[in-house]
Amino acid sequence: MTDDQNDTWPVAIVLGAHVHPDGTPSPALCRRIAHAVGLYRTGKVSRIIVSGGPVTHPLSEARIMARLAMADGVPASALLLEPYARTTLDNAIFSLALMQHHDIDCALVVTDACHLPRALYTFRRLGARVAGSSPPSSRRRLDLACVRECVARLVYIIRVNRFLRHRS
Which of 108-121 are b and which e, b meaning 16 or more Cβ less than 10 Å from the residue's Cβ? Answer: bbbbbbbbbbbbbb
pLDDT of residue 141: 56
Angle 136-20-13 from CA coordinates, rounded to 5°: 45
Amino acid identity at 66: A
- What is the set of domains in the chain, with CATH numbers? 9-167 (3.40.50.620)
Q: What's the average pLDDT block by block, 10 residues per block, for the chain (168 residues)? A: 66 96 93 98 98 90 97 98 96 98 98 93 97 81 67 82 87
User: Distance between CA 27 and CA 17 in Å, rounded?
Assistant: 9
What is this structure's pTM? 0.87
User: Distance between CA 45 and CA 42 in Å, rounded?
Assistant: 8
pLDDT of residue 1: 37
From the list 34, 37, 58, 61, the residue with the least C-alpha distance to 50 is 61
Q: Are 13 and 109 in contact (CB under 8 A)?
A: yes
Contacts of 138 (CB under 8 A, 6+ apart): none
User: Distance between CA 121 and CA 4 in Å, rounded?
Assistant: 17
3-state secondary structure of 98: helix
